[in-house]
Amino acid sequence: MATYTPCVNIPKISTIFLGYVSELIRRRLQPILDIYDVKDRSFKMINIDFSLAISLYILIFLIIILIAWLVNKKQKDKDLNVDDRFIWHCCVCTYTYINTKEDMISVCPRCGSYNKKLSKATT
């Protein structure tokens, strides 16, 4: 008559599982270990497939474009600062526009009405 002992199998299963996990980790790390030359303390030539090379190329290209765009945007934001005395608010159509030529009265480009510069309450 065979005796049933379920507790004996549990350490065996965990050993198999740990062995499986360590094998997975070793397989993942082996390519990294293979490309590093311990004697020369340098990396060997890396073999990557064509699709990975193309995707890396596109990724680097996009990162460069993103950085250039961010730098350009920051520069544009700096250039957009206009003096408050050149900003006009039309009191008829509530249009906001920039006029650097006139000081006292300016013509609204949208509705054509004359606007007088309001004196600032703070000054």
Positions that interact with Zn ion (CB under 5 A): 90, 92-93, 95, 108, 110-111
| H/E element, 59 | helix 50-79
The amino acid at residue 76 is K
CB of 103 to Zn ion, least distance (A): 18
Please say which residue, 18 or 98, places its beta carbon nearer to Zn ion: 98
- Name which of 26 and 110 has its Cβ closer to Zn ion: 110
Residue 106, strand partner residues: 115
Calpha distance 64→59 (Å, rounded): 9
Nearer to Zn ion, 58 or 105 (CB): 105
Min. distance of Cβ 88 from Zn ion in angstroms?
9
- Whether 88 contacts 106, CB under 8 Å: yes
